Amino acid sequence: MQDYTFSKAYKRNHNKKLIIIVDDDKNIRFILKTLFAKSNYQVETTGNLAGLHRIINNFSPDLIITDVKLPDGNIFNEIPDIKKQYPNLPIIIISAFSTLSTAVKAVRHGAFEFISKPFDINKLLQVTENAFDELSINKKKLKNNETKDFNKNLIGKSEPMLNIFHSISKLIGHNLTVLLTGESGTGKDLIAKTVHDLSNQNKNFFKINLSMVNSKTIQKKISNLLFENSTIYLDNINEISLNFQAHLLNLLRNTFSKIENENIKNIRFITSSSENLMKLIEKGKFREDLFYYLNIIPLYIPPLRERKEDIKDLVDSFLNLNKINNLPIKSIHNYAYKELENYSWPGNIKELETFINRLVILSPGKLINEKFVKSELDKVKEQLNNDFSNFTEIFDLELEKFFKNADISRYSDCLYNFLLRKLEYSLIRKTLSVVNGNQIKASRLLGLNRNTLRKKINELDIEIIKKVKS
């Protein structure tokens, strides 16, 4: 049964902004849909989170208006995933639980505005218009190349990168704590430095790799940096133990208290993680109280496979650096870019840069052609395939043993599905073991949608075993 309004024949009207209304009260959905439709918005409604995700997965919304508590969950748990897909999508929270705590939580989770029930219709319309006005202003800035003051190495014209630029532009003049998330190699360090560079107040930039220091070392380092008008960048925060997290939390509490009491100014903290910290919290691997200290301004850095429009510009920038890096000066044929765009780049920008340097060194002549790029990419793919070079042979031997020893009459009409199920069980279980139970990493490695992976884990009754970090 459908819990949302659009049908299979539904077509997105790109001349109108699409607003999604999420509320389990049918009357509220009807009133709001009528209201916004009269204001020339396209409106879709749903009563639960499942319907919200189905709409989002089918169409690109311009704004979401949602209650907090819904029949199948809390919107606060879903906002990180929504913001990951649409970083600058305005989300207006409406709730009867109009406490200060709820309002603060809404803002911290990235909501544009919090409105308590019963709400003023005119106020809701005004807040909606304000959200669209802010988006419009920032898009105009981006189109007018007002990102020119960004770090010259921060490259991109894709929608995901324009969203990043938009978010960074809003940080100018503030020293709010920033949390960067994204896969390894996506450029989190560069983003951190760019945020710092755009802060006119902060003179010094200090990076501390948390995976390489202990709690005593970081305490000493931060204490020494407090009076330096600094940006303190804490890298790899997802890799520290719960015990280290407790030390870090106490340190940050004392630091923020010291900043306030001693009138210390111009100190900004930036942290980075290659994993979704909300997911780690759910698994008991990250402290929720520490997360709220860090997640004031969240910035998700998309992987290269989600911003393939930027590959050409990135490649050109790498080639332009040849002289500085004492590499031969070469160019790449236009047709060769397509080969680069068709590859997934699991190592993201770092892998692309390394590959381009390889092309520059190994290619004959000054022009790198399509054929040479394809042949080198084939070598990369072959290297990956070599890990499975003996797999078919081993599998054949195991099948031979099975047919020799098993009573195959027991599997009449179901042998194919039985064996595939066994193989699928082993593959998923082993992959989860390799990534220490991290379903995000496992789904990415397997090439499966996260929801599909969760479904298979339940169907196959796979126990997730995690190694405990000391």
Asked whether the whole model's pTM tops 0.85, one would answer no
Q: Which helix (H) or strand (E) covers residue 101, if one does?
A: helix 100-108
3-class DSSP state of 278: helix
**Token pair 């790109």 in the structure block, residue:** 14
CATH number of 391-459: 1.10.10.60
Name the CA radius of gyration of the chain, rounded. Answer: 26
pLDDT of residue 466: 63
pLDDT of residue 451: 78
Report how far residue 172's alpha carbon sits from residue 149's, in angstroms, rounded to the nearest whole number: 11
Q: Is 440 within 8 Å of 275 (Cβ atoms)? A: yes
Q: Is 94 within 8 Å of 65 (Cβ atoms)? A: yes
Sheet containing strand 178-181, edge to edge, reads 204-209, 230-235, 268-273, 178-181, 297-300
Q: Name every residue whose Cβ is closer than 8 Å to that of residue 409 and which is 6 or more positions away in sequence.
A: none
470 residues of the chain, pLDDT tens digit each: 445 554 444 566 667 889 999 999 999 999 999 989 888 889 999 999 999 988 887 778 889 999 988 998 888 888 888 887 787 788 898 887 755 566 667 766 777 888 877 778 888 888 888 888 776 655 554 444 444 445 556 788 788 887 788 778 777 767 888 999 998 889 999 999 888 887 766 678 888 888 777 777 877 777 777 666 788 899 989 888 888 899 888 888 877 776 666 666 678 889 999 888 988 898 898 999 999 889 988 999 999 988 999 999 999 988 888 766 677 888 888 888 999 998 888 889 988 998 998 898 888 888 898 999 999 988 887 776 665 555 666 677 777 777 777 777 777 777 887 788 888 888 888 888 888 888 888 887 887 777 788 888 888 888 776 654 44
Q: What are phi and psi of 46, to 5 degrees?
A: -155, 155
The topology (CATH level 3) of 305-386 is Helicase, Ruva Protein; domain 3 (1.10.8)
Among residues 80, 57, 72, the alpha carbon closest in space to that of 279 is found at: 80
Report how far residue 83's alpha carbon sits from residue 86's, in angstroms, rounded to the nearest whole number: 5
**Domain 18-140 bears CATH identifier 3.40.50.2300:** yes
> Residue 330: which region, alpha, beta or left (left: phi > 0; alpha: psi -120 to 50)?
beta
Domain with CATH 1.10.10.60 in the chain: 391-459
Instruction: Work out whether strand 69-70 and strand 73-74 pair parallel, antiparallel, or are unpaired.
Output: antiparallel
Domain with CATH 3.40.50.300 in the chain: 151-302
Domain with CATH 3.40.50.2300 in the chain: 18-140
Report how far residue 36's alpha carbon sits from residue 384's, in angstroms, rounded to the nearest whole number: 52
Among residues 352, 375, 363, 373, the alpha carbon closest in space to that of 327 is found at: 363
pLDDT of residue 102: 66
The topology (CATH level 3) of 151-302 is Rossmann fold (3.40.50)
Q: Which helix (H) or strand (E) covers residue 8, if one does?
A: none
Cis amide linkage into residue 90, ω under 30° from 0: no
